[in-house]
Chain A
Amino acid sequence: MTTLFYLLGYLAVVGFIALACKKLKGYLEDSPLHVRWELYPVPHEGKKSSYGGSFMEETEWWNKKRHIEHWYDIMGIIREVLLLEATFKHNNKLWFRTYPFHFGLYMLMGGTIIMVICVLLEFCGLNPQGGFMMFVRNVINVVVLGGAFAIVGGGIALIERRKNDPNLKAYTTPEHFLNLGAFVLFGLLTLCAWAFNPCGDGYYGLAHEFIRNMFTFTFAPIHSTFFVLSMLVGFFLMIWIPLTNMQHLILKYFMYHDIRWGDAPTSENEANQKKINDMIGSYRPTWAADHIEGDGTKTWADVATSDGIKK
C-alpha cells in the first residue's frame, strides 16, 4: 500500500505536468494567429494605461517606435493573481470569500515550493539541522496552518454562496460542489495532520520526509494517516484541476497576455505577416451558407477576394 501511495504521488505530478502541457499545446495550436481582440486598458501601454489609452492615439503610429512597458504587464498580472484585483473591483462580495480560498492555496503552493527547494539544497550539502532549516521549519508550520484554515474557511463560504445566492443557483452544478468540497476536505485533512502528528518537527517533518522520499524513491511509510489522506486528496486535485474550469490556473496567462492585452500590430511583426498569408492561402472553409461559397476547394483568400454574390 505504501508503494502504491508513492506511485500515485508520481502519477499526480506527471499527470498534472502532462495535462498542463496538453492544454498549453492545444491553445497554441488552435490558431497560428487569431485576430486582435484586445480590451483596454492594456498595461504595457505604460502611463497611457492609467486611462486606457493606446499607441493608436498617436499620429502615424506606424512610423514611431513603440514603447512597450513589459514591467506594467508583469505588475498587472501579479496584482491580478495575488490580489484577485478584478474580483475585488467588480464583485466585492465574492472577493471576501474567494480571496481567502485562493490565498490559502497560494500559501500551500508556496510552502511546497520552499520545501522542494530545501530538500534539493540538502542534497547539495545544506545541513538539515542548521539554523536556516530551523527557520524554514517554523515558516512551513505557520504557512500550512494559515493556508489550510484559509482554504477551509473560504471554501465553505463559497459553497454557502453557491447554495444560497439566487443569482448563482441556475449556474451551479454538482461539479462545483465536488471541486470546492475536495478542497475543503484537503484543507481539513491538512489541519488534522498538522494538529495530530507524531513527529517532533510538526507538519514540516511530515512534508519534509514525504518530499525527500519522493526524490530518493524511498517508499517508506509516513506515520500520519491524516497526512497520507490529505496527500491522496491532493493527488486527485492535481489531476482534476486541468480537466475542469480550474484550468484557468494554467491558461490565465494567455487569456490576459495573448488575448486581452495582445495588441501587436502586423506592421511590426514579419512573422505574423507570413502567418496571415499562410493561413488565408491554405485554410479552406466549409461553411454551408451560400454567400460563403465554402465548398472546401476555395481558400479564405479566395473567399475574401470574391464578392459572395451569386451571379
Chain B
Amino acid sequence: MSDTLKLNDVATVEGQLVSIKEEDLPKTRLDLEFMPWKPFTDEQKKNTACILDDVCMLNIPKPQTPEEEEELVNKFLNGMRKLFDKENNFTCLPMLKTSMENCVQCNSCSEACHLYEMSGNNDMYRPNFRSEIFRRIYKKYVKKEPFAKWRYGDIDLNWKTIARLGELAYRCNLCRRCAQVCPIGVDNGLIAREIRKLFSQELGINPPELHTKGTVNQMKVGSSTGMNPQVVQDNVSFIDEDYSEITGVGIETPFDKQGADIMLLHNAGEIIAWPENIASFSLIFNEAGLSWTLSSKAVGYDGVNYGVFYDDAQLARIAFQHMKAAKELGVKKIVIGECGHAHKAITVIADRVIPYEYQVPRESCYVTLRDIVMSGRLKLDPSRNDFPVTLHDPCNAVRLMGIVQPQRDILHKIAPKFREMPCHGVDNYCCGGGSGFAIMTRNNIDEWRNNLSGRKKMWQIGEAFKDCLGPETKKYICAPCSNCKGQIRELLEHSDLYEKNSFAYGGLVELIVNCMENVNPGFIKWGEDE
C-alpha cells in the first residue's frame, strides 16, 4: 500500500486508507511485542470517521446527509481562512505562511521522522504528507490560485479529506525533528499543530484527553488530573509522610509560602503516578536550603498545559493562571518541575502571549538542580548509583529550548556509569508519547504508541545498554519528564522489559536522592525490590 499511496487518496479511497503490519516494523535490540490492532466495531465503522489507519484519535462523526457534509466542508474552510488571518492567528501566521509557500518538496524531512522510519517507511507517515494535502487545499479552495491543480497538484475536498487530515494531524509527535533538518526552514510540525488548532478552535473537534478531561478540567477543577486544591494538599502531605519514612529524612513540602524565592511548578500527574518525584524535589530543595513553595491555587499547582498541543486559547488561559499564581505569592521565579511540555509552554510560548507585566521569570529545574548538585550543598555518594544510566532528552526542553548540558553535568557528577543514547541532545528522538499521546488510550492509541511511536525510543535505549542487556545488570533510564515517563512505563510494561532487562525508569531527582548520604540506601527500586 505504501508504494501506491497518492495524496488525493485521502479524498477518494473508501474505508481504511492504510494499515501497518507487524512485518513492516523494523526490529530493535529489545524484544518489543507487537500489540495487534483491535478491529473497529461495526458501530464505529458506521458512525465514526475511523478511516485513516488502524487508530482513531478524534472520533469525528461521519456526516449522514449531503447537507451535513457541506456544513463540515464549509466550517473547515472558514477555519482555514482564520488560520491565515492576523487577528485570529497572530501567534503563528508568519511561520505557517512561510511553511506553506516555500517547501520545495525535497522530502529531506522524511528520514528525520521516527514515525516514518518505524512504520517501515510508510508514505502516510512522511511529515510532508499531511502538510502537502493541507497546502493543496489552501491553494485550490481558499486562495483559489489560477492553475492551482497544475501548479501544486490536485486534491479533492470532501468529508473524507477533512476527517483524514484531522487524524493525520494526530499522527505526529510535534517533536519538530523534521523542521530541524529542513534546508529551507519549513516546519511540518508546526503545520500539524495548526491543523489541530483549526479543528479545535473552529470545529470544536479535539481529543477528549487533551480538551474536556485536560485543559477544561484544569480550568474548572484546578488540574487535568481532577485534583482540586484540597486534594492536592492532602496527597502531598501523605507523600511527605510516606517518604519521610522511606528516606529517613523528614520531608515537609511548603504550600503558599508568601514571598518565597521560588514557586515550584510540578506536573500534577507526578503526585498520583510518581510520588517519589514530588518527595525527591522537596527533599533536595529543603536540604539545599532553598526558599521555595508550591501553590495551592487552582491551576497553580499543575504545570501541565495541554493547550500547547492543540489550542492557543486554552494555552494562553492556563499560562496566565500559572503566572497569576506566582504573582500572588510574590515569588522571584517559577521553577518548572520535570515536565517537558510545561517547560516550553510557560517559558518560551507564553513569553509572547502573556503581557510582560503579568510575567514571572521562569527557570528549568534542570538548571536549579545543576547548581545545587555542583555547589556541594548536598552530601552525595555517587557509588550508590553504580549502575548503568542513560538519559532521555525531552524534545520540548532540549531541541525546543536548548537546555542540554545541565542535566548532563548532574549525571556526570552522580552516575559513574552514565552513557549517552545514540542520537542524543538536540538530535534526540521523541519518546513516542509527545504532544499528548502519553495520556491517550482509546481506539488503538495504546497499540500505536507501543508498536510505532515509541519504537525508536526503545531502539535508542537498547543501543545505549547494548553491552549489558539481560536481567543480570540493573539499569536506569533517566527520563526527566512526566509524559515521557508515562510513555516509557507503558512500553516497558507491555513487553515485560522490566524483568527481561532489569530496567528501572524515573527522573533526575530520584537519581540525586538515591545517592544522598543522609538518605536510606536503595531509594530507586527495581522490579524485585518493590
Looking at the assembled complex, report how far the CB atom of B333 sits from the nearest CB atom of chain A, in whole angstroms. Answer: 7
Interface string of A34-58 (1 = CB under 8 A from B): 1111111110010010011111111
Task: Give A247-292 interface residues, CB cut-off 8 Å to B.
Answer: 247-248, 251-252, 254-256, 258-260, 263, 265-267, 272-273, 276-277, 279-280, 283-292
| A90–B352 alpha-carbon span in the complex (Å) | 32
Residue A304 at the chain B interface, CB threshold 8 Å: yes
Contact B93 A34 (CB under 8 A): yes
A301 cross-chain contacts in B, Cβ below 8 A: 355
Q: Hey, which chain B residues are within 8 Å of A272, CB to CB?
A: 352
Contact status A34-B151, CB under 8 Å: no
Contacts of A80 in B (CB 8 A): 183
The answer to whether A255 touches B98, judged by C-beta atoms less than 8 angstroms apart, is yes
Interface of A is mostly: helix
Taking a contact as CB atoms closer than 8 A, the residue among B102, B181, B361, B403 that contacts A245 in the complex is B102
* A33 partner, pick from B211, B314, B352, beta carbons under 8 A: B352
A259 to B426, alpha carbons, bound, how many Å? Answer: 17
Question: A280 to B111, Cβ gap below 8 A?
Answer: no
Are A247 and B404 neighbours in the complex by a CB distance under 8 Å?
Answer: no
How many chain B residues touch A (Cβ–Cβ < 8 Å)? Answer: 91
Across the interface, do A52 and B404 meet the contact criterion of CB distance under 8 Å?
yes
A interface footprint on B171-188 (CB within 8 Å = 1, 0 otherwise): 000001001111111110
How distant is the Cα of A32 from the Cα of B91 in the complex, in angstroms?
9
Q: Which residue of B lies closest to A32 (CB)?
A: B90
Instruction: List A residues 290-308 near B (Cβ within 8 Å).
Output: 290-292, 294, 300-301, 303-308
Cβ contact within 8 Å between A171 and B355: no
Q: Decide: B355 and A276 in contact? CB cutoff 8 A.
A: yes
Q: Which of B151, B317, B367, B425 contacts A174 (CB 8 A)?
A: B151
Contacts of A280 in B (CB 8 A): 353, 355
CA A29 – CA B94 in complex, angstroms? 9
A90 touches B181 (CB 8 A): yes
User: A245 near B101 (CB under 8 angstroms)?
Assistant: yes
Report the minimum CB–CB distance from B319 to chain A (whole Å): 8
Residues of B within 8 A of A (CB): 3, 5-7, 75, 78-79, 82, 86-88, 90-95, 97-98, 101-108, 110-112, 123, 128, 132, 150-153, 176, 179-187, 190, 200-204, 211, 216, 219-220, 311, 313-314, 316-317, 320, 333, 347-349, 351-356, 359, 361, 363-364, 367-368, 371, 398-406, 425-426
A residues whose Cβ falls under 8 Å from a Cβ of B: 26-27, 29-42, 45, 48, 51-62, 80, 84, 86-87, 89-91, 94, 98, 166-168, 170-176, 245-248, 251-252, 254-256, 258-260, 263, 265-267, 272-273, 276-277, 279-280, 283-292, 294, 300-301, 303-309
